[in-house]
Each structure stands twice: as C-alpha cells, then as structure tokens.
Amino acid sequence: MSGALCGLWVDEAGTVHVSREVAGGGRESGAEVLRPFAWLGAGEFPAGEGVGIEALAGEGFFARLAHADSLSAFETWLAAVKAAGARGLDVVKPFESQWLLQTRNRLFDRLPFSRLRRCQLDIETGSSDGAFSDAGKADDRVLAIGLRCGGEARFLVLEAETDEAEKTLLERLNAALAELDPDTIEGHNLFKFDLDYLRLRAKRHKVPCAWGRFGQKAKFRNSRLKVAERWVDFPRCDLPGRTVIDTYLLVQLHDITARELTGYGLKEVAVYFGVTNDEDERTYLAGDRIAATFREDREKFLAYLGDDLRETAGVADVLLPTYFEQVKTFPVLLQEATLRGNTGKIDLLFLEHYYHARQACPVPPEVAPFEGGYTRSFHEGVFRHVLHFDVASLYPSLLLLLDRNPRNDALGVFIPLLRKLREYRLRYKQLARSAPTADERAEAQARQASFKILINSFYGYLGFSGARFGDGELAAEVTRRGRELLQKLIDAFAAEDCAILEADTDGIYLSSEKYHAAPGALLEKAARVLPAGIELEHDGSYAAMWCYKAKNYALRDGDRVILKGSALRSRGIEPFLKKLTGRLIRHLLGLDAESPAAWLAELRRAIAAGELPVSELAKTEALSMNPDAYERLMAEGGKPRRAAAEAALQMNPRPRMGERVSYYLVPKSKGQTADWQRARPASAFDRSRPETAYDPAAYLEKLDDWAARYGVFFNLPPPAPAQGELF
C-alpha cells in the first residue's frame, strides 16, 4: 500500500492497523508491525523475554534503548520493571506515535485537505418533561442525527417516540458511518454533548458504539484541556482509525490569541468567522421549541439541523487545516494534534532524530525565570495617523542569528530543524500568493500558517521546564537581544519625529502625519538599524488609536474597531458595561459623534427603576472547577468562595468545569453581603417574583466605577456630591 495514510490504530495485540487512500478516493485497510521501545536511564533493569537492550552513543541520562518483539512482551517486561522499582524509564505514548516516529511515516502526507474524508455530526434531542434534555432520563431521547459528508446532508430521523425506534436509529448511525467511512467526525461541543448523549442512549438500548474503523467501538475517558489559564473538562471519545474534531474546543484555543469572542456557541462563532453572514441564511429555533418543531414542522426542524451541520463544516474549514498540516510534520495523530500543546509535539520531533541516530537523550532541565520582552505604553489618549510595524518572527530570527543549539542538544538538531522549517514556511508563503488554483493557494496558506505557529513555538519551547531540550539561558539571551533591537527601532522612529505610542515584544505603534500615507519610506529608514536576517514589516495603518493603558488600546480600521487588552475585551465584563465602553470607544475614535454621557444617564435611570433586563447585568465566567468538586471543597472549609461556582450549584443540570455560567446579584440581606452569597443563575430571574430581583445599588456602583475610570477621556462632569446630614 502506497497511498496517503488516513487512519491509524494499534490494537491490544500490537498489530498496527492502517487505512490508506486508494485511486478514486477510497480507503483500503492493511496491517503493519510495531516493535515497542523505551529509553532507559541509569538504573538496573531486569531482562525480559523478547526484549533487547542496546547502549546509545553520547552522554545523556537516557543512555540505553529497549526494543520488544511484540507488545505483549513489552508490557510483561514493563510490569517486571515497575515491580523491581527501577527508575528512569521513558515510553512514548500513544503507541501510534511510537510507530510513526519509528517508521517516519506521517498521517495525510501528500494528501490535500480537499481529499480528507470529513463528516459533520449533530444530534437533536427531546425532553419528556420540558426541562433540558438528559440522556439519563428514560423517556428523553434522540430525535434525529444529522450527518454531512462531502457537502451532502443525510438525516437519520426517529420514526416513533419509542425505545425500539430509538434503538433502530442508533443502529442506523453505526451502519451509516461504516458506509461513509470518514477520516474525521466533526461537531460543535461534540465531546460534551452529542457523542456523550449517544453513548448513554446506546448503553440503555445495548447498541454498540461501533463508530470507529476496522470494526472497532468508541472508547471514552475523562479528559481535560488547558486553554490559556483555565482547564476544560470533557468526556473524551477516541475512535480507532478516525479523528474526532470538536470545533467547540478549537474555537477556544483559537481565541487564546484573538480574544475577540464573547461566547463559543455555534451560531455566534459561525457569524464571527463569516460562515453565516445574514440571519436569513439559516433557520433559527429556540432550544425549548426544537422538540415541538420536530412534531409540528418537520421541514423546518430538518432545515435547522442542516444549518447546524453547514456551520460546523464552515468553522472547521477555518480552524482544522492548521492541525491537518501539523500532522504532516509531527509523528502524532490528528486528534492528538488538536489536544496537545506545541511543546510535546516539538519534543516528539527531536526524539525522532535521537531515536534514529541511536543517541542518548537528556532529561528535561529546570528553567529558571528570566526577563521577558520589551513592553511599554508611552501615552494615554487618542492619536491620529497611526502606523504599526513589527519584526517578522523576531525570536526565531534571533535564534537563527545566534546559531546556537540548546546546551543539552548533543546532536545539534534544534537550529537546523528551525532553519529547515523556516525555509518551508517561506516556500509555502510564496505559493499562497502564486499557486495557479484557488485550492492550491488555500492549501499553501494553511501550510505556511502552520509552519509560522510551529516556528514561533521554538522560542517558547526553550523557556519551558517540561521541554526535553529547554535552555533558559539561551531563551534569556534571545529576549535580551529582542529588547535591545526594539529600543533601536524606537530610537530610529523617534529620530523621524514619530510619536511612539505602544511597544510590545516585537511590534511598535506610532503616530506620524508625515509618513502615514508613505509607510514604506519610514520602514526603509528604520530598518537600517537591524542586523542582516532580521526583517521589519509594515503591519497596518489606522485612522486613529485610543491608548488606555499598557497593552490595552483600540484601533480604528475604516469603520471597524480592533480591541487589544483584557481591560477592554474581557469576557467577564457585564454586557451593559461592555456596550457602554463600546460606545465610548467609537466616540473617541471618531466613528460616533454622540458622547456616551447620555446613555450613561439612561442606564442609571433604568437600573434604579429595575427596568434593565437581567441579561444586560449578568456576568459570565468560565468555571475553573467542577461544581461537585467545588461543593466538597467548600464543605471541608476550602477557600475562596466564587460567585460563578455558587451560582452553578443552583443549576440543574450542573455545568462542567470550563463551561460558562451567567449570574447576577440579588440585594444584600442580613448575613449575606458578599457577592458569592448573593449570586444567582441568570436563568433563575423571574420579573414576576420579587425574591429574584437584582440589586440596583450593586450595578449603580459599577456604573460609578466605570465613570471614574473612563470619564476623563470624554470630559464627563464629576458626580454631584452626596447630600450630607443637616443636623
């Protein structure tokens, strides 16, 4: 078999099952052999039948390599190693990565994204009591399963609201996936909802979840993903030979750097990415109307389901290609690529070189903290004629300029690999502009974007304590040179009478009426201070910029506003304050003539009268802990109490860690003055029930805080002094 590798699974016996593309776009299964291996440290390791140990060249803690004839021999030997208490064992997991590393194969190598066999999956469910549909309830059930492959939708619909009909529906899903044989199954919130719901219903009806390749069933386990500073819990599903792609998680990973989304629901995300540009493009149904529409208007119900599938495909079109290209570089499965950080991927790339060179490997060194990049805000206020310049791939470029490998990289893999990847990126960047067809240009763009992310990760890898070839001293030297270089650029721009507004790591914002229409001329002058191999780029021109404080600013790009910084873009800001800040920014940047002062006054009136909708007041936060675990911790005297977590305890069903909870504050009462004591889920608010009313004083105080922070920027008159006592 010589076609592109499209599926991979190692069974319990150690047989490597592969699926490859064949002529006409089909898939053909085959089998390969795995010889499991492990790096060994300095300890004493027992001999094992069918296990050979060889010494490696060079110095390094892991100076020996063990190979087994079979997986069973390997696992028997591992058990003996653990029983003997031997230390210093390093095993690459999962075994699919071992085989890829060992054979230097790559998933989807030479396969264009357009030939990936993709299937979007979405389910609609019904509730027996009008509450949120719960797979654990006997009479709640799956109403329909939507599948979309190659742009064509297929709907599997419940024929009668009975257990037998639902069982048949689940069996039809198994048959459809076996027939379609997709490489990927994609969905939005696929792990937490769709697949988990299907699993529970299949268990009830004793239907196997036969969704994998090679006749295999799905495997489920609890997992978690780190997204910036928080963890997201989810029930992971692995399908042998296939990839599960959850766009709900990919969107959150994307938003770590973009930080522009206020929510991660499919409909909002589809609009953000331009998948759906107009409300008329799709069918909308309220959650509590889905089951009724299934019974009363089947055509509208299926149109809604079809639009969910279309939007899922569109979001995956944007986010998946980067990961698809990564697996052509790394010895990882596509699902692992979406759920694993770049440090682990880069480690595997290095380990592959050391494995084939039979070179001893080091242990990851501890990396001491070091000074970061140059960051400074020079001014506050509104400025016109703004230009942005940045240094292309500053840290990777400095690494190449230094031409120094990490000190424990005995093979000297780091710099040659970085240089090779940079050459690949430049080649695909050129093809993204010049390739003859739109598909080829899109493919090249995805590849160059993937390589850009990878190249920029090399510097971060150096400073990470868990990186096998980390080197804090080298990382510190790179940042030191980066700070020096940025200061030289600042001095060069200042010499041209530019007002420097903001500098951050590798970029500079400045104001210059003289050069605003000719940024290339300014770039040419400033670039003269840079060493060879370091390139300065003009990254944007803006009509205006509002500098609020360090790393927090707003830019006017035509009629569009670009926000940077957590103070202006935090998803935890209450909607009424976020909208008020939005009006202020548009006013300051010259997009709206009206001052926000009048709206500020109207908000004060509406809040005091209890007229503002609770949806405008409710704060939304992601849970950093599962509610059940939080409840146990608090019962044991743990701290601190958190308002969002307290609100989550009042919800049914309770949300999971990583999910977002909206809550508001009720008035203070005796013994209940802290926010966490007064937090209520936004869903509990009922205007007809006075006991659920919000606290006007709390939200008027927030308005006062807002006015104190921002009033100086639009000449807001100071508040009238409070009337004191006369006697």
Q: What is the pLDDT of residue 336?
A: 96
Q: What is the pLDDT of residue 533?
A: 87
Q: Which CATH number fits domain 364-394+473-569: 3.40.50.970, 1.10.260.30, 3.90.1600.10, 3.40.630.40?
A: 3.90.1600.10
- Domain edges within the chain: 5-109, 113-326, 328-363+408-470, 364-394+473-569, 572-713
Round to whole Å and give the CA distance between 100 and 349.
Answer: 11
Q: What is the pLDDT of residue 719?
A: 57
Q: What is the pLDDT of residue 501?
A: 97
Q: What is the pLDDT of residue 425?
A: 86
Q: What is the pLDDT of residue 9?
A: 97
Cβ partners under 8 Å of residue 257, min gap 6: none
> Do 281 and 303 meet the contact criterion of CB atoms below 8 Å apart?
no
Tell me the three state secondary structure of residue 704: helix
Q: What is the pLDDT of residue 178?
A: 96
Q: What is the pLDDT of residue 720?
A: 52
> Do 285 and 300 meet the contact criterion of CB atoms below 8 Å apart?
yes
> Do 314 and 275 meet the contact criterion of CB atoms below 8 Å apart?
yes
Tell me the three state secondary structure of residue 142: strand
Tokens linked to 127: 């509730």
Q: How far is CA 660 from CA 230, 550, 616, 648, in A?
A: 12, 28, 16, 9
Could you say which architecture CATH assigns to the domain 572-713? Answer: Orthogonal Bundle (1.10)
Tell me the pTM.
Answer: 0.84
Residue segments in the chain with a per-residue pLDDT below the cut of 50: 722-727
Residue 518 CB neighbour total at 10 angstroms: 12
For the CA atoms of the chain, what is the radius of gyration? 29
Round to whole Å and give the CA distance between 245 and 239.
Answer: 11
Q: How far is CA 337 from CA 215, 226, 332, 468, 661, in A?
A: 24, 14, 6, 19, 29
Round to whole Å and give the CA distance between 255 and 266.
Answer: 14
Peptide bond just before 640 cis, omega within 30 deg: yes
Q: How would you list the strands of the sheet with 141-149, edge to edge?
A: 152-157, 141-149, 118-126, 184-187, 243-246
The CATH superfamily assigned to 113-326 is Ribonuclease H-like superfamily/Ribonuclease H (3.30.420.10)
Packed helices 438-462 and 298-326: angle between N→C axes, nearest 10 degrees: 60
